Amino acid sequence: MNDRTDKLVSNALKVASILAGLTLWHVLAVYVVNDTTFLVSPMVVVRTAYDMLFVTGELYPHLFASSWIFFYGFALAIVAGVPLGFIMALNPAVRDYVNPWMTTLYSTPRIAFAPILLLWFGIGGGAKVAIVFLGCLFPILINSFYGMRVVNREYVELARSFRLSSWALFIKILLPASVPFILAGIRLSIGRGLTSVAIAEWFGATEGLGYLVFFAGQTLNIPTLFVGVAAFAVLGILGFEIIRRVEIYVTPWRKQSQGG
Amino acid sequence: MIWEILARLLLENELLIPPPSSVARSLWKLTMSGQLNKHFAATLIEFAYGFSTACIAGVVIGYVMGIYKRVDEIMEPWIATLYSIPIITVVPLIIIWFGIGMVSKVIVVFKITAVAIILNTAAGIKNLDPVWLDLAKSLRLSGWETTYKIRLPGALPYVITGMRLGVGRALLGVIVAELMASNAGLGYLLRDSSETWDSPKLFVTVFLLAAIGLVSFNLIKRFEQRMAPWRQSAEWSAE
């Protein structure tokens, strides 16, 4: 079998698998379960999505609300996480001081902080942004730290032999060398950030995709629930792709590693 | 100490930051009444069931996907879909389907862990150094022997990476599921204390969760170092 037929078979199998799965789902929903408060056919989900996007347009406010929370928390996490990671990498005293806190905060299931943040910031936007911030911060912080730590020693020695000032060393050597790591951290934090948006909106919200999903769950509105879940998945994939493109563009010398 | 004085002098409001003494008192009360035990056990059992079944299923499915390219191609779209959906948003659906009891939480844990292990096991089998397989051939190992002497040990570091990723996420998943609908478990305690504005109890729960997170994080790190010592374990597992 040559390469082209192999690829053809492979794609055909994937398409067949998706179609078979959807058919099974449809049959299960319509003929076996037959209860719209339990499971609906994928066709109904698509129709609902179409309605919410183009007819009533009711998906947009939720989409925007969630995007803003995500964007603020995410941007703050980058602004705070990258410099903090650098400082930790360059200054052992700070590292020793921050390290135990970081380990603890990072390994705690982050939903545990949600009620406390809610208590401190109220149920407005502040608490939600804080929850997303906390969710995104650590992958970015840890990767910035790590990226700066593993810079090739030869580069640093080269810089020394050129008598670069420490500022020039930072700008010309350390920063570019750690960019791939920072971007990897940012990519990892997208998924965590979206999960955090959902968590934040579960605790008292009146709009947003998370609110949409949970409200639909409570009112047994299965089609809307599926649409909300799909919206989250699409946002996640989109964000991941964007960062991957940026990675290829910014660090073309690096072979792209598979995420996951 | 600093925390106690700060909380006592500056805030005078138990709601925002309860002083450590009242947190300790709350912990004592919860332990003595056996409540803490009950919730702790509930969460642990849910986690253990979901995690152990997911490890077995994940390794088997991941192995088959790694060996047979066609199976991989058939499964891939679905695994990728499952992987890209934030689990939190599926929890309401799982609760509708499986009720508010233990089953739904076990399924949440199972789903999270299984996907992580499947992906990593398949990657491990695929990335196996072909030299080893040649070695197996020249030693005339049977198919079964090749599997458990060459392929599985070779993929082990990947499997453990999958488990490590699974632990943190599954812990989050089980807490979320308990928070949304249940009558026992640490997630329930979290919700209960936050809704009744019982800050000391809330802080007790948060500290417990932090402790569980730390312990599981270190356990899996140890486990990784012991099972795959030739692989330098990343100090920080980026999720």
Please name the member of A107, A220, A233 whose beta carbon is closest to the beta carbon of B168: A107
The stretches of chain A forming alpha helices (DSSP H) are 3-27, 42-50, 59-90, 92-107, 113-121, 125-149, 153-161, 166-169, 175-202, 209-218, 222-250
Of the candidates A47, A4, A33, which has an alpha carbon nearest to the alpha carbon of residue A224?
A47
Measured between beta carbons, the chain B residues lying within 8 angstroms of A233 are: 81, 84-86
Per CATH, is B36-227 categorized as 1.20.120.450?
Answer: no
What's the gap in Å between the CA of B74 and the closest CA on chain A?
5
Average pLDDT for residues B188-211, to the nearest whole number?
A: 82
- C-alpha A182/C-alpha A58 separation (Å) is 36
Least confident window among A22-26, A60-64, B225-229: B225-229
Kindly state the tokens that stand for B237.
């597992």
- Which residue is closest to B212 within chain A, CA to CA? A108
A163 and A99, same structural domain? yes
Measured between beta carbons, the chain B residues lying within 8 angstroms of A38 are: 96-97
Average pLDDT for residues A6-17, to the nearest whole number?
A: 84
Q: Do the chains contact at A237 and B84, CB–CB below 8 Å? A: yes
Kindly report, residue by residue over A207-245, the tens digit of the pLDDT: 888 888 888 888 888 888 889 888 888 888 888 888 888
Instruction: Evaluate whether ipTM surpasses 0.90.
Output: no
Q: Do the chains contact at A236 and B205, CB–CB below 8 Å? A: no
Measured between beta carbons, the chain B residues lying within 8 angstroms of A188 are: 238-239
Please name the member of B89, B180, B205 whose beta carbon is closest to the beta carbon of A112: B205
φ, ψ (nearest 5 deg) of residue A99: -50, -50
Least confident window among A30-39, B49-58, B110-119: A30-39
User: Helix or strand or coil: residue B18?
Assistant: coil
Q: Do the chains contact at B88 and A202, CB–CB below 8 Å? A: yes
Of the candidates B158, B66, B136, B89, which has an alpha carbon nearest to the alpha carbon of residue A211?
B89
Report how many domains make up chain A: 2
Whether residue B239 has pLDDT greater than 50: no
Q: What is the pLDDT of residue B17?
A: 65
- C-alpha B16/C-alpha B35 separation (Å) is 24
Confidence of residue A191 (pLDDT cuts 50, 70, 90): confident
Measured between beta carbons, the chain A residues lying within 8 angstroms of B90 are: 229
Contact A72, A197 (CB under 8 A): no
Of the candidates B109, B118, B120, which has an alpha carbon nearest to the alpha carbon of residue B45?
B109
**What Rg value do the Cα atoms of chain A yield, rounded?**
23
What are the sequence ranges of the domains in chain B? 36-227
| Host domain of residue A10 | 1-34
A179 and A133, same structural domain? yes
For the domain that residue A72 is a member of, what is the CATH number?
Answer: 1.10.3720.10
DSSP-assigned letters across all residues of B207-232: HHHHHHHHHHHHHHHHHHHHH-TTSP
DSSP-assigned letters across all residues of A191-230: HHHHHHHHHHHHSS-SSSHHHHHHHHHHTT-HHHHHHHHH
Q: Is residue A257 part of a domain?
A: no
Whether residue A144 has pLDDT greater than 60: yes
A77 and A44, same structural domain? yes
A98 and A187, same structural domain? yes
User: Helix or strand or coil: residue A103?
Assistant: helix
Average pLDDT for residues B5-16, to the nearest whole number?
A: 54
Q: Is residue A259 part of a domain?
A: no
- C-alpha B132/C-alpha B30 separation (Å) is 55
- C-alpha A80/C-alpha A223 separation (Å) is 39
Q: Is residue A256 part of a domain?
A: no
Q: Do the chains contact at B203 and A116, CB–CB below 8 Å? A: yes
Helix or strand holding residue B122 (H, E): helix B102-126
Q: What is the pLDDT of residue A258?
A: 41
User: Helix or strand or coil: residue B96?
Assistant: helix
Whether residue B202 has pLDDT greater than 60: yes
Amino acid at A207: E
A107 and A230, same structural domain? yes
A158 and A51, same structural domain? yes
A129 and A14, same structural domain? no
A84 and A59, same structural domain? yes
Rounded to the nearest 10°, the torsion over CA B154, B159, B161, B162 is 150
A234 and A118, same structural domain? yes
What's the gap in Å between the CA of B153 and the closest CA on chain A?
21
Q: Do the chains contact at A104 and B217, CB–CB below 8 Å? A: no
